[in-house]
Structure 1
Amino acid sequence: MQFEIAHDHPSLPGHFPGNPVVPGVLLLERVLDAVEAAGGRAGALRLPQVKFLQPLLPGQCAEVSLETPAPGRWRFRVTRDATLLASGEVVDDAAGPA
């Protein structure tokens, strides 16, 4: 799932003034959108592990890729070209133990 955060997104002026960087919470929102598009629940999910490695700047195109190691579990990677920006795991506890 590809996405881009526009230069005029309302969160950017405060993050950081004069040098905007896309907040990590917006990356995670796109990850959860990808999980839902892959058939995951729109309800309560948890993110037991998340690593932010590189920033995403407004207007840059990024992509979310998912791997499903077990029902109710998704490993994600957010990349820009070949650069890993963020990675982690999303878990639906209602799906039961892995």
Structure 2
Amino acid sequence: MTRFVIAGDHPALPGHFPGRPIVPGVVVLDRVLEAIEAAHGPLGVLRLPQVKFLRPLLPGEPAQVAIEPVQSAQPGAAASRWRFRVERAGELIASGEVAAA
């Protein structure tokens, strides 16, 4: 699992939303991609065939990413698809899949 916190001064927060900022989904997905790259090396072009955002993440809240490689139909092939879950204090905030294009 990869833990992360998005600081209140992150450049994506102004305007998202004034008076009550939430972390944009694209910033959460960036942390997911960083976790996959840390475990499996650099990624090329990707697809996001499925992504669900269930709850907002607020600046300063600790969250964690769990990734799971999806097995290829070809034995011995490197992973090219991963399932992910993003949780905050045990509560699911986002989930989905990332696949090599």
Q: CA deviation at 1:10?
A: 1.2
Equivalent position to 1:72, from 61, 80, 91: 80
Decide whether aligned partners of structure 1 residues 5 and 22 sit closer, same or farther in structure 2, where only a CA change above 3 A counts.
Answer: same
Which consecutive aligned stretches of 4+ in structure 1 deviate over 4 angstroms post-superposition? none
1:23-60 CA-to-partner distances (Å, cap 9, x unmatched) read 00000000000111111433211111000000000000
TM-score calculated relative to the size of structure 2: 0.88
Letter in 1 for 2:12: S
Equivalent residues of 1:4, 1:58 under 8 A apart: yes
RMSD between aligned residues: 1.0
Equivalent residues of 1:78, 1:87 under 8 A apart: yes
**In 1: Cα distance, 2:67 partner to 2:55 partner:** 19
The answer to which of 9-18 and 32-41 deviates more is: 32-41
Percent identity, aligned pairs only, is 62
Tell me how many residue pairs correspond in the alignment: 93
TM-score calculated relative to the size of structure 1: 0.90
Partner of 1:3: 4
**In 1: Cα distance, 2:43 partner to 2:80 partner:** 12
